[in-house]
């Protein structure tokens, strides 16, 4: 009896398995995922499914058209992301179910097709017509200085260039170049104005002029452009920030060097070499050199005064003055140089110490050596006299 029950159960199980297998082959629902670009179409049996438009990436809305050969079905429907949409009663009932699984961008989306296997195998057919002109504006923005090194007082021109490098019109363009930098005064054209609308490929630029007023190294902040595409999608882009250097105001800076290499013997002559060099960044002009000697008598100096029209930055002028010592002593020669250094008259000084020697008594040392030699010789003689 029990054996019979087992047998019956076994037969039932076998039959159930058979039945399942049979239905699998015929009306089993299956699915397949496709990535579609706009215009791409999937054919499945008599069904044709085409991605018409990505209506909104943000809202997750995709428009698809589903039709059936013969015209019994032709429907264009907006599909919401992740919600199944049945056509012809859906897959369960021999129709199809379409679900938008993912929206990649304004051009493409991932779509899942559910269907009964008897309908066949779905195939993707890429769009034959060129992809419809996309409405995807993209603005590049650039901010540039006409020099990246300048000195206080220099004028600098800033150019803002905005170009639509995308497709479709950019609307409501706004360039914000703020805040104003404290190292500059804004002379003209600020804040910069850019056209509100730029078609694809179009560009616009604005120029403004500033004046550097403070030295230092400055990080120039990015300029931000904000805009929207035709669908009012707001977008923005900014330029790269960069560094500039503002050097101190360029000026002439004269350094004066006086050199007298050897002391002067009494009633002898000497030479004082004078070198005026411009260590500054601007030309020095109207240079007048004149000197004084302290104490004023005893050392005669000629050729100390001189004038030059201009000394270029980095350049120098050299000349020499004649010295003649008339009285022994230490003298100080002070050279005063006045010049126009770029903003007004400047005075620089240089000094040199000059020694006029006492008269030299060349053979003076003999006065010492001779007596010592005589004494030594004398004492040696005496020593010899008593040495036995």
Partner 1 sequence: MLNVLMLGVGQCGNRILDAINREAFGGGGAAKLAKYYLRPKFPSRVETLAINTAINDLKELRFTTAKDRMHVANLHGVGANRNVGKQAFMDNRDMIMGEIEKRGDFDIAFVITSTSGGTGSSFSPLLINELKRQYRDITVITVAVLPFREEGSLYLQNAAFSMRELMEVDAEGIILADNQYMKRFSGDIASAYDKINNMIAKRLLFLIESLDSEMLSVTDLGDFKTVMNGGLRIGTMGFYQADSKNLSIKDAIENSLKPVNLLYPANVADDAARAMIIIQGSRELLDVDEITKEVERLSASAGHVFKGIVVKKGRPKVLSVFTVASAPELESIYAQAARGMQDEKEKRSRARKQLDDAFAHIEDLEEIY
Name the site residues for partner 1 (rule: CB under 8 A). 378-379, 382-388
Residue 266, CB half-sphere, CA atoms under 13 Å: how many?
Answer: 8
Between 14 and 375, CB nearer to partner 1: 375
Q: Which of 185, 178, 57, 48 is nearest to 109 (CA)?
A: 57
As measured in angstroms, the least distance from the Cβ of 372 to partner 1 is: 14
Between 3 and 387, CB nearer to partner 1: 387
Rounded to whole angstroms, the Cα distance separating 159 from 141 reads 10
Between 359 and 387, CB nearer to partner 1: 387
Between 361 and 388, CB nearer to partner 1: 388
* C-alpha 86, offset from chain centre: 55
Q: Which of 171, 140, 174, 165 is nearest to 233 (CA)?
A: 171
Rounded to whole angstroms, the Cα distance separating 160 from 145 reads 9
As measured in angstroms, the least distance from the Cβ of 387 to partner 1 is: 6
**In this structure, are residues 204 and 175 in contact, taking their beta carbons and an 8 Å threshold?**
no
Between 365 and 388, CB nearer to partner 1: 388
As measured in angstroms, the least distance from the Cβ of 358 to partner 1 is: 35
As measured in angstroms, the least distance from the Cβ of 376 to partner 1 is: 11
As measured in angstroms, the least distance from the Cβ of 386 to partner 1 is: 6
Concatenated DSSP letters of 95-123: SEEEEEEEE-SSSEEEEEEEEEGGG---E
Between 31 and 380, CB nearer to partner 1: 380
As measured in angstroms, the least distance from the Cβ of 371 to partner 1 is: 13
Which of helix, strand or coil describes residue 14?
A: helix
Rounded to whole angstroms, the Cα distance separating 277 from 312 reads 9
Rounded to whole angstroms, the Cα distance separating 100 from 79 reads 7
């Amino acid at each position: 009896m029990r054996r019979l029950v087992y047998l019956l159960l076994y037969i039932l199980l076998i039959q159930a398995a058979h039945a399942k297998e049979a239905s699998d082959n015929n009306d089993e629902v299956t699915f397949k995922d496709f990535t579609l670009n706009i215009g791409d179409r999937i054919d499945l049996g008599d069904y044709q499914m085409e991605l018409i438009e990505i209506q909104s990436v943000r809202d997750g809305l995709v428009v698809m058209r589903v039709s059936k050969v013969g015209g019994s079905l032709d429907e264009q429907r907006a599909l919401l992301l992740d919600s199944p949409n049945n056509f012809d009663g859906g897959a369960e009932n021999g129709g199809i179910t379409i679900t938008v699984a993912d929206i990649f961008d304004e051009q493409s989306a991932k779509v899942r097709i559910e269907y009964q296997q008897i309908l066949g195998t779905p195939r993707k057919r890429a769009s034959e017509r060129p992809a419809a002109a996309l409405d995807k504006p993209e603005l590049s923005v650039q901010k540039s200085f006409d020099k990246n090194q300048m000195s206080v007082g220099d004028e600098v021109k800033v150019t803002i260039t905005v170009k639509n490098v995308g497709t479709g019109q950019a609307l409501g363009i706004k360039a914000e170049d703020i805040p104003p930098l404290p190292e500059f005064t804004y002379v003209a054209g600020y804040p910069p104005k850019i056209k509100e609308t730029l078609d694809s490929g179009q560009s616009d630029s604005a120029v403004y002029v500033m004046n550097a007023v403070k030295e230092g190294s400055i990080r120039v902040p990015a300029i931000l452009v904000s805009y929207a595409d035709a669908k009012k999608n707001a977008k923005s882009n900014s330029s790269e920030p960069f560094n500039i250097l503002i050097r101190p105001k360029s000026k002439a800076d004269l350094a004066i060097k006086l050199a007298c290499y050897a002391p002067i013997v009494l009633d002898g002559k000497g030479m004082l070499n004078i070198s005026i060099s411009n260590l500054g960044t601007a030309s020095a002009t109207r240079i007048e050199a004149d000197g004084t000697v302290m104490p004023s008598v005893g050392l005669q100096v000629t050729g100390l005064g001189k004038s030059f029209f201009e000394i270029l930055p980095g350049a120098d002028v050299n000349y020499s003055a004649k010295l003649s010592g008339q009285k022994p002593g230490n003298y100080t020669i002070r050279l005063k140089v006045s010049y126009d250094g770029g903003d007004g008259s400047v005075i620089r000084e240089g000094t040199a110490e000059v020694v006029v020697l006492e008269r030299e008594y060349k053979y003076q040392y003999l006065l010492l050596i001779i007596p010592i030699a005589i004494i030594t010789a004398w004492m040696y003689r005496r020593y010899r006299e008593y040495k036995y």
